[in-house]
Structure 1
Amino acid sequence: MKKDDYIPLFESKAAGWRGVYWFYAISMAVSVSLICIHRVMHFPHQKGLARWAWIGISMAELWFVTYWIITQFARYRAVSRYTFKDRLSRRYEDGLPCVDIFVSTADPQLEPPLMVADTVLSLMAYDYPPEKLSVYLSDDGCSDLVFYALYEASKFSRVWLPFCRSFNVELRAPNAYFSAVKELPSDDPSLAKEWREVKKLYNEMEAQITDIMKLGRVPDHLRKHHKGLREWESGVSRSNHHTILQVLIDGRGNKEVDIEGKPLPMLLYLAREKRPGYAHNFKAGAMNALIRVSSRISNGSIILNLDCDHYSNNPQSVRDALCFFMDEKQGHNIAYVQHPQKFDKE
C-alpha cells in the first residue's frame, strides 16, 4: 500500500463526556483543597488524644486524596477507539494471522467444568477462519472432570458453530445465549426445529456434566469414550502428576469438520507436570507452559488470553484486536490490546 493511500484500521476520538468529567474533577479538587485548609486551620495545639485523633484523620484523608489523584491519570484524557473490520477484511482476509487462545482453570469446584465448556465454545465460535484458530485449555487442577467437560464441548461444537452461523448469534456462550433467548427467534419452521434440537443437545450436555460433578468422578462406562481419560487411571493427583496433553480436535489440515462440512478450530487440553517440592508459579507458570506447547503445535503469531469464567460476548473480538496490530502506520507500536470486561449480574 502506498503512503498516500493509507486508510487507518482504527481511530481514536476524545470521549464525549469530557465536559462532565472536568466539572467533576474541578469540583472535587476544590472540595479537597477546602478540606486541607480546614485541617491546617484547626490544628489542635494542645497535646494528647485530640492531636492524635487529628493526625489519624488527616492521614486517612491524605491517603484518599492521593488515591483520587492517581485514579485521575486514567481519566484525564479518556478516548474512545473505533475499529474498521471491513477494511481489515478487504486488505488481509486471505492473510490473517494464526491466533492461539489460552484459557486457564485451576479448580473444578470453584470454576465449574460446565462454565469452562461454555467459555471454550464461545471462543471456538469466533467469526474467524477456523483453520487459523487454536484453543488451549490449561487445567492446573488436573481434573478428569474438566477434561470430560471439554470432551463433551468438542462434540457439541460440531453443532454449535453451524448454529451460530445460521442464526447470526451474537452471544456465543451456549448457557448465556439460551438463558437470554427464551423463545424461538424465528417463525420459519425449519429454523425453529433446528433451534429446538440444538437447545436439546445443549441441555443433554449440561445434564451429563452436572451429573459427573455430583458424582465427583467420571464413571467407568464413560472413560472409554476418549483415550485421554486413561491418563487418570495411574494415580494422578492435583499436585503430583505427569504432563497430560490431549488434542480433542485436530484442526490442522482441515481434518475435522462440523455437521456442515466446514473445518473446526483446534482444541487442546493441557495439565502441566507438577511434583511436590517444586514451585509451579500458579497462572504465570501455566502461561509459560501454554506458550511452550503452542509454539510446537500451532505457533500462532497472536495470543489471546482469558480466564475460564470470562466467556466472549463478541464474535468479532479477534478482528477488533487485529485492527490495532495490523494497522500499517500504528500497528508496529502496539503489542497489547485489552478488551473491556462486562460482569453479569447474579
Structure 2
Amino acid sequence: MVRSVLDVDSVGPMESDPPSDLQTEAHPKNRFGNELPRVDLFVCTADPVIEPPMMVVSTVLSVMAYDYPPEKLSVYLSDDGGSELTFYALTQAAIFSKHWLPYCRNYKVEPLSPAAYFKSAASPRDHTKHRQDFIVIQRLFEDLKNRIEKVTNIGRVPKKLRLEHQGFLEWDSFTSPRDHAAIVQILLDHDEDTEGHSLPKLVYMAREKRPDHFHNFKAGAMNALIRVSSMISNGPIILNVDCDMYSNSSDTIKDALCFFLDEEKGHEIAFVQYPQCFENITKNEVYGGSLRVLREVDFHGLDGIDGPLYVGTGCFHRRDILSGKSFCNSSDQGSKLTDWKSEKDTHCNQRETENIQILASCTFESDTEWGKEIGLKYGCPVEDVITGLSIHCRGWKSVFHNPKRNAFLGVAATTLDQTLVQHKRWSEGDLMILISKYSPAWYGIGRVHPGLLMGYMMYCLWATSSLPTIYYSIVPSLCLLNDVQLFPQVSSIWFLPYAYIIISITAYNYLEFLRCGGTTRGWWNDRRIWLYKRTSSYLFALLDTILGSDLSFVISSKVIDTDVHERYEKEMIEFGVSSPLSIAVATQSIINMICFLGVCYKINV
C-alpha cells in the first residue's frame, strides 16, 4: 500500500521539530483545509476505584488537545461505572481545558496529557513569557488535581460542589453502578477558550444499567457511544482509546487521515490501528509487558497482508463500517471526502439530550442487529478481535501505523497476578473466537488472505498451547528423577536434530528480541513470563472454555501501591493477591525443584 503518513520524530516535552516542505504538503490539514472530516473521540472507563478519575481526565484532556480543527472534534467519555466522582472530574477538566488547550497550541506541547507533561517538563528559562505561562498552567493543574483527588478520597461529591452543575441532578435517583438510568450531559458545546478559539465538544455518557439486563462489557459501552454520538456530532471517523492510554503526539489524527484519504487505496481501509505502548515499562521488562515482538514484528507482518487485528484501543474507525457496511470494490468508492464534507455537526442543548438518552438505554438493542451485524460484536471477552475479524471478512483492509514517536502511552501491569489475569482474558476470548461461527478456521476461508488467517489462528491457539507446554515443563523433570530416558544420548547421532531445533529457535528468538530494542535480561524475563502464562493463564482459559464457565471481563487495576511500585522499579517479581493462577505457577516450580533436588541427591549417593 502507498504510504503517505508522517513519521513523527520523538521530541522533548517543550518543543517539536518544524515540518519539512514535504511533510507540510502531505498532511491532510494542509491539503484539504476546512474540508477535513469531523472526528469523534471515545474514551472508556468503568470503575473510579481501579481507574482513578484524575487519570481518566488526563487522557480526555490529551485527546482534546490534538493539532486538529477543534470545531471538528468531539470527545465522549463513557463512564460504565456511572460515577458522580468521574462526572465531577470531567466538569473540572472542562474548565481547565480552556487554559490547557491554548497553552498546548502556543508552545507545541508534547505529550498532550498534563499529568505526563508536568511529570517530565522543567520550567523554561529562555523565554520569559513561556516561563510565566508555564508557572500559571502548572498551578492551575495542581489546583485541578487537588480538587479531584479531595473529592475522590472522600468518595462523594459534597452538596456545595453539586450545586455548581445541574448535571448532578441526574444522581438524585441514582442507585448503584449496576442499576441506574442513562445519563448524557454535554459539558462543552464548542465553547471558547481563554483566547477566543473554539474548544472541542465534550460529552459525558453513562449508559443505563439494570441487573436483569446483560450489559456486554466494553462492547456494549462502545455501541452506546456510537449511537449517542451519531445524534450529537456524527463524525465519520471514530477514535477509541482506553482511559489509561493518553495521547502522546499531537499529529496522530492527521497521520491516520493520510490513510483514509489516500486517493488510491484509502477506500479499502476500515481502520487504522496504532500499537499499544506503555510508559512504565522497566529496562528489562520484568513481566514482559511491552509486547515488543508483537508490536515490532508480528503486526508489521500482518500489515502486509490486508492489515492487523483490532486490539481495542488506539484505533481509528470509519463509522459506516462499524455500522455493518460491506466493501464494494467499485470505481465510485474513493475516499468519500465529499460525503464527509456534507455532514453537519449538531448543536444539542441539554433538553434535547434527554431524548438522546433512550439510545443509551439497556432495552434499546432488543430485537435489533446491534452486537451482531451492527457495532462491536457481543458474546466474547475480546470483542475487539472478533469485530476486526468480521470487518476483514466483509472485504475491508486495515493499517498498522507505528510512528517513531509513540502515539499513545498507557500503564502496563506491575504485578504477576495482573499479568496472568489479563492474558487469561485474552487467551480465553481468542479461543472462544476459534470455536464460534466467526472462527478464522472456517468463516474466514475465501474471505480473508490466507496469511492473515494464520495470523488470527496464532492468537486463537494461545490457550491450547498450554497442554504441550505443561508436558514439556514437567514430564522431562519427572523422567530425569526416575531415570527414564526421554531423549537420545548426547553421543548419539539422533541427538543432533534435537540440538539443532533447540539452538536455532532459541538463537532466532533471542536475536529477534534484541533487534526490536530489548536487552538480554529482558529476553530472559520474557521467556520466563511466557512459560508462566502458558502453564497458568492459558490452561485456565482452556478449562473455563471447555467447562462453559460464565463469561467475565476483569478490569486491570490502574492504582499502584507505593511499595509495589518501588519493587516493580527494582524489577522484583510481585505475586500480588493469591489466586489459582499464581498457585499453578508455584506448583510447577515446586515440582521442578523437587525433581532437581532428587537428582542431585541420587548423584551424591
**Fold shared, TM-score > 0.5 on shorter chain:** yes
**In 2, Cα distance between the equivalents of 1:234 and 1:11?**
50
Q: Give the superposed CA RMSD.
A: 1.7
Task: Specify the alignment match of 2:271 in structure 1.
Answer: 336
Deviation at 1:213, TM superposition (A): 0.9
Q: Is 1:200 aligned to residue 129 of structure 2?
A: no
Matched-pair contact (CA < 8 Å) for 1:243–1:272: yes
Q: Is the 8 A contact 2:113 2:247 kept in 1?
A: yes
Separation in 2 of the partners of 1:154 and 1:186? 29
Whether the aligned pair in 2 keeps the contact of 1:159 and 1:259 (CA below 8 Å) is yes
**Amino acid aligned to 1:287:** M
One of 231, 241, 246 as aligned partner of 1:311? 246
Deviations 1:155-178 (A, max 9, x none): 000000000112110101000000
Between the two proteins, the alignment pairs up a number of residues equal to 265
Task: Describe the superposition over 1:306-336 as per-residue Cα deviations: whole angstroms up to 9, x where unpaired.
Answer: 1000001011110010000000001011111
Structure 1 CA distance for aligned equivalents of residues 108 and 134 of structure 2: 12
Deviations 1:239-283 (A, max 9, x none): 1111100000012xxxx1000000000000000011111001010
- Tell whether the 8 Å contact from 1:99 to 1:301 is kept in structure 2 after alignment: yes
Asked whether the 8 Å contact 1:84–1:323 carries over to 2, the reply is no
Calculate percent identity across the aligned residue pairs: 52
More strand by share: 1
Correspondence 1:250 to 2:250? no
Quote the offset at 1:97 in angstroms.
Answer: 0.1
SS in 2 for 1:135: strand
State the secondary structure of the residue aligned to 1:101: strand
Q: Which of 76, 81, 85 is equivalent to 1:145?
A: 85
1:272 aligns with 2:202: no
1:102 aligns to what? 42
CA contact (8 A) 2:6 2:255 kept: no
CA offsets, 1:76-114, max 9 Å, x none? xxxxxxx95632233212210000011100000110000
Residue pairs, 1:76-225, within 5 angstroms: 84=23, 86-87=25-26, 88-181=28-121, 183-225=122-164
Change (3 A) 1:233 1:11: closer
Q: Measure, in 2, the Cα distance between the counterparts of 1:235 and 1:180.
A: 40
Partner of 1:9: 4
> Residue in 2 aligned with 1:302?
237
| Offset from partner CA, 1:281-313 (integer Å, 9 cap, x none) | 010000110000000110000000010000010
Structure with the greater relative contact order (CA < 8 A, sep ≥ 6): 1 or 2? 1
Aligned to 1:259: 194
Deviations 1:44-64 (A, max 9, x none): xxxxxxxxxxxxxxxxxxxxx
Query: What is the CA–CA distance in structure 1 between the aligned matches of 2:31 and 2:128, rounded to whole Å?
Result: 39
Contact 1:137–1:268 at 8 Å: present in 2 too?
A: yes
User: Matches of 1:266 and 1:92 in 2, distance apart?
Assistant: 22
In structure 2, C-alpha distance between the alignment counterparts of 1:84 and 1:8, rounded to whole Å: 13
Q: Return the alpha-carbon distance in structure 1 between the equivalents of residues 97 and 49 of structure 2.
A: 24
Unaligned runs of 5+ in 1: 1-6, 13-82
CA contact (8 A) 2:184 2:203 kept: yes
TM-score by length of 2: 0.43
Structure 1 runs of 4+ aligned residues shifted over 6 Å read: none
* Structure 1 residue 184: Cα displacement: 1.2
